[in-house]
């Protein structure tokens, strides 16, 4: 400004992934404070606004996932009428979410909106099949021993679970082939999560059903 009280420095930076931009913004802020320790420094522009919007989006989606998980837990509790069985049935439904998010962390990929959105969607898809599984199991358990009821339930429900999982995976395959990285990543994560959700219904749920009846 004319009175030398204000200065504006414009930096041109290449388009990068959000995590790299976040580190760059922090580096710029530290450098400005080091060079001008007595000045009040503000970092503005499109990138900081995009990062701030993404943080708010992730926070809102995270709260939404927790709310969905709480609603699912209450639905299981009302259906099973046992806190112990409710906790057991949450395991196969949270498993695909934990595997996908854990794989992202293992690969060094930061959680973004696609990851959080995948968590909520997969939870809803997995719960749907689990409720069908428990309904069939309750029907057979009334007239068959425990192990035979599990076998009959698998014989009836497994083909439908496999078919719906294949259809879902093929649908998300269209997203996996997208040139837009977030959309492509979302499609790949959904395909992997659907596969693990199917594994949970075919393997984990039958393994956990007998445990809910033991002291």
Res. 212 pLDDT band, cuts 50 70 90: low
Mean pLDDT of the 35-59 span? 82
pLDDT category at 214 given cuts 50, 70, 90 is: very low
Considering the chain, what percentage of its residues have pLDDT values greater than 90?
Answer: 8
Tokens for 80, please give them. 């099973």
Mean local confidence (pLDDT), 45-60: 79
Work out the average pLDDT over 3-20.
79
**pLDDT range class, residue 145, cuts 50, 70, 90:** confident
pLDDT, one tens digit per residue, over 78-131 is 888 888 888 888 888 888 888 888 888 888 777 666 777 777 888 888 888 888
pLDDT in the model for residue 215: 39
Please check the confidence at residue 162 and state whether its pLDDT lies above 70. Answer: yes
Q: At 119, is the secondary structure helix, strand, or coil?
A: helix
Report which secondary-structure segment, H or E, holds 100: helix 83-106
Distance CA 89, CA 87 (A): 6
Distant-in-sequence, close-in-space partners of 189: CB < 8 Å, separation ≥ 6: 100, 104, 114, 115, 118
Structure token pair of residue 72: 């699912």
**Residues found in the chain:** 215
Reply yes or no on whether the pLDDT at 136 is more than 80.
Answer: no
pLDDT interval class at 18 (50, 70, 90) = low
Nearest Cα residue to 199 out of 87, 86, 96, 119: 96
Q: Return the structure tokens found at 171.
A: 């649908």
pLDDT tens digits for range 164-198: 999 999 999 998 888 887 788 888 889 998 999 99
Report the predicted TM-score, pTM, of the whole model to 2 decimal places.
Answer: 0.69
Nearest alpha carbon to residue 115 among 12, 190, 202: 190
- The better pLDDT of the pair 114, 156 is held by 156
Q: Which long-range contacts (CB under 8 A, 24 or more apart) does 16-23 make?
A: 18/50, 18/51, 18/54, 18/110, 18/112, 19/110, 21/47, 21/50, 21/51, 22/51
CB of 191 within 8 A of CB of 96?
Answer: no
String of DSSP letters for 3-68: TSS------------HHHHHHHHHHHHHHHHHH-TTS-----SHHHHHHHHHHHHHHHHHHHHHHH
For residues 59-88, average pLDDT = 86
pLDDT of residue 122: 82
pLDDT, mean over the chain: 83
């Amino acid at each position: 400004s004319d009175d030398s009280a204000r200065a504006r420095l414009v930096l041109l930076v290449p388009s990068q992934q959000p995590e790299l931009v976040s580190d760059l913004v922090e580096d710029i802020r530290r450098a400005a404070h080091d060079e001008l320790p007595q000045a009040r420094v503000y970092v503005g522009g499109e990138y900081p606004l995009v990062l701030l919007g993404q943080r708010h989006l992730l926070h809102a989606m995270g709260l939404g996932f927790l709310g969905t998980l709480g609603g699912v837990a209450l639905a299981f509790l009302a259906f099973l009428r046992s806190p112990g069985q409710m906790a057991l049935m949450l395991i196969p439904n949270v498993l695909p979410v934990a595997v996908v998010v854990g794989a992202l962390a293992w690969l060094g990929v930061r959680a973004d909106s696609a990851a959080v959105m995948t968590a909520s969607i997969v939870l809803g898809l997995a719960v749907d099949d689990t409720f069908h599984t428990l309904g069939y199991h309750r029907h057979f358990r009334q007239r068959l021993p425990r192990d035979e009821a599990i076998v009959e339930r698998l014989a009836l429900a497994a083909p439908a679970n496999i078919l719906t999982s294949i259809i879902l995976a093929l649908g998300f395959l269209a997203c996996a082939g997208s040139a837009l990285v977030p959309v492509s990543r979302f499609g790949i994560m959904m395909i992997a999560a659907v596969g693990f959700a199917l594994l949970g219904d075919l393997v984990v749920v039958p393994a956990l059903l007998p445990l809910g009846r033991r002291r």
